[in-house]
Amino acid sequence: MMKNFSGSVAAVAAVMASVALLLVAVSPVAKAQAQTCNVTELSSCFPAYLGSTPSDTCCQKLNQQAPCFCDYAQDPTLSNFVNSTAARNIATSCNVTYPTNCS
């Protein structure tokens, strides 16, 4: 039993470390409409990404960063997270429109 628990802790720690590295590695991108795209603004959504209910702060930040979703989805370091079922579920829970046609 202890082996499974430590394996679970290690898996969660690995995911958290990966997300932390992504957040540090991604530089902000300025949008034409003066929107600053900064994926670190979505760090409050990490617990929701792991399965909890999105917080009000998460939903507010998600709404602010919505114009950046296509940029994030096309970034190779973020695409697996942004295009995930979890990300779409968070957007739905927050009543934020998730783009379906990024080109």
- Non-local (6+) Cβ contacts of 97 within 8 A are 66, 91
**C-alpha to C-alpha distance for 76 and 5, rounded to whole angstroms:** 32
Closest C-alpha to 64, from 86, 93, 35: 35
pTM: 0.65
The residue count of the chain comes to 103
Please write the tens of the pLDDT for every residue from 3-20.
444 444 334 433 443 443
Which pair of structure tokens corresponds to residue 1? 């039993």
Please write the tens of the pLDDT for every residue from 34-92.
568 999 999 999 999 999 999 999 999 999 999 999 999 999 999 998 889 999 999 99
